[in-house]
């Protein structure tokens, strides 16, 4: 038998090549500071002293990928084991007045975290996970419009009907 993975998405969404273009992160910018099994922390070596910014990658084994889902038991894989991966970025943003150097300066934290859980089966490929990330990004640009401004102000119903 040859199994394939299909997605519950509209047919208008292409399934062809899936890619995310990374930017702004290079090995020259980040240095590993804490690497152990299932976890790695990298520090931004260009961040100012006393305001360290870091990125983390963590993975762990999940014994039951079906826990807290409504998947019919008859449809479960023979193995329920999977992997949970979390990528996180912690930054400090500087806020200052470019026109008035005597104005107060501020620093605000920014944190972003992406976690996914996936079955430990050979059919799951990196392209499948990247496709899921692309779909999450699609929620930010719903119907071609950036919804972040609305969501930051408390809106959750940001569906745009054409």
The 10s digit of each residue's pLDDT in 71-124 is: 999 999 999 999 999 999 888 888 888 888 888 888 888 899 999 999 999 999
b (16+ CB within 10 A) / e for 73-83: eeeeeeeeebb
pLDDT band at residue 162 under the 50/70/90 scheme? very low
Task: Specify whether 37 is located in the same domain as 113.
Answer: yes
Say what the pTM is.
Answer: 0.74
pLDDT of 54 reads: 87
State the average pLDDT over residues 24-45: 83
Choice between 143 and 87, residue whose per-residue pLDDT is larger? 87
Task: Specify whether 84 is located in the same domain as 138.
Answer: no
Instruction: Give me the domain span that covers residue 34.
Output: 30-121
Give the percent of the chain with pLDDT over 90. 30
Q: Which of 115, 99, 97, 2 is nearest to 57 (CA)?
A: 115
In a domain, 8, yes or no: no
Task: Specify whether 152 is located in the same domain as 75.
Answer: no
Task: Specify whether 161 is located in the same domain as 148.
Answer: yes
């Amino acid at each position: 038998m040859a199994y394939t993975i299909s997605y519950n998405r509209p047919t208008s969404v292409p399934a062809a090549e899936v890619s995310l273009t990374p930017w702004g992160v290079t090995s020259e910018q980040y240095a590993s500071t804490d690497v152990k099994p299932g976890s790695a922390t990298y520090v931004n070596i260009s961040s100012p002293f006393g305001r360290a910014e870091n990125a983390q990658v963590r993975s762990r084994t999940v014994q039951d990928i079906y826990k807290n889902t409504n998947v019919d038991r008859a449809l479960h894989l023979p193995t329920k084991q999977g992997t949970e991966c979390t990528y996180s970025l912690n930054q400090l943003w500087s806020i200052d007045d470019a026109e008035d150097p005597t104005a107060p300066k501020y620093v605000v934290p920014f944190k972003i975290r992406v976690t996914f859980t996936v079955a430990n089966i050979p059919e799951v490929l990196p392209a499948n996970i990247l496709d899921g990330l692309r779909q999450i990004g699609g929620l930010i640009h719903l119907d071609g419009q950036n919804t972040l401004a609305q969501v930051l102000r408390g809106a959750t119903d940001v569906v745009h009907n054409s």
